[in-house]
Chains A and B, each alone.
Chain A
Amino acid sequence: MSGGDAARGAPRDPEAEARMQRFINGFMQGVPHLALLGIRYRRHGDIWAELELPYAPQLVAYPESGVIASGAIFTLMDSASGFSVFVARGRMEPHATLDLRCDYLRPAAPGASVIGRAECFKITRQVAFVRGIAHDGDESRPVAHVTGTFMFTAPA
């Protein structure tokens, strides 16, 4: 993972950064399934993005323990991964998930928000490669680890 907030490479044009922020705000409000799960934007850097999934009873998969569904974490990580592709490309051009693997390292603590952080570490002409983790407060104790690939699609 890229360390901290320090941007890599050349500093980005502030106007481009403002455009990206406007896009993010609009994007987050405009995705119904993220709204359904309560997933929201946290922050991003040059090649990474962080989203947050606040705890909610309707996300539970194991009512006896209150642990949330792995599927909700998958959705969080798919979205954070897709987001990292947008910021790494610096363009809001569409892409689609080709595949995503999620290792569920341990159950998320009941009641805790889950934070998904993904990094787009390689971009080719047609494909973006992403890795990421989900954690519930302590980045050094992740609840999930993902790797995925995204295909660039032609603008609609």
Chain B
Amino acid sequence: MNAPLPPYGGLLGLCDGPGGEMRMPFSPGLIGAPGRLHGGAIAGLLELVAHRTVLEAIGAGVQLKPINVTVDFLREGRLEDVMAAATILRLGRRVANVRAEAWQADRARPIAAARLNILVVRPA
């Protein structure tokens, strides 16, 4: 059961991929410099897949707030679909430490990797 996408995820055109992955199909609105994707769109995808992965691990009723994100841009984003997946390194009572990666044709050649700290607000 997937959490609904926020409007910003709709703006990026995100959809579900297999096994908890998310896909950002190529569209012209994602272009940054000529011939490549904008890094901000890739970062947005990484943040959304990380948040969704934490939400699905905890279940309903919690609220997530981003504390910070660090994105390494490893390769240029070609004008193709982007896939992304997140791994929870640690899920504590208050903070989730998450890693997320984005790739295009070849998962072994990621185009970006992010580390996120996310505040978990549980119901009192």
- B29–A79 contact, CB under 8 A? no
- Encode contact with B along A16-48: 1 for CB under 8 Å, 0 otherwise: 000000000000001111111100000000000
In the bound complex, residues from chain A placing their C-beta under 8 Å from that of B9 are 69
- A98–B66 contact, CB under 8 A? no
State whether the Cβ of A118 lies closer than 8 Å to any Cβ in chain B.
Answer: no
State whether the Cβ of A137 lies closer than 8 Å to any Cβ in chain B.
Answer: no
- Encode contact with B along A95-122: 1 for CB under 8 Å, 0 otherwise: 0111111111001000000000000000
User: Which of B31-39, B53-61, B91-99, B102-110 is the interface stretch?
Assistant: B31-39
State whether the Cβ of A74 lies closer than 8 Å to any Cβ in chain B.
Answer: yes
Could you say which interface size class chain B belongs to?
35 or more
- B29–A78 contact, CB under 8 A? no
Interface size (A, Cβ < 8 Å)?
37
In the bound complex, residues from chain A placing their C-beta under 8 Å from that of B11 are 36-37, 58-59
- B73–A32 contact, CB under 8 A? no
Interface residues of chain A, those whose CB is within 8 Å of chain B, are: 30-37, 57-63, 68-72, 74-76, 78-79, 94, 96-104, 107, 156
In the bound complex, residues from chain A placing their C-beta under 8 Å from that of B67 are 103-104
Please give the distance in Å from A81's CB to the nearest CB on chain B. Answer: 10
In the bound complex, residues from chain A placing their C-beta under 8 Å from that of B35 are 156
In the bound complex, residues from chain A placing their C-beta under 8 Å from that of B22 are none
Q: Given contacts A33-B29, A74-B71, could you give 17 more A-B pairs where the C-beta distance is less than 8 Å? A: A32-B28, A33-B30, A33-B41, A34-B32, A37-B11, A63-B7, A69-B47, A69-B48, A71-B43, A71-B47, A74-B43, A96-B76, A99-B72, A99-B73, A101-B68, A104-B65, A104-B68
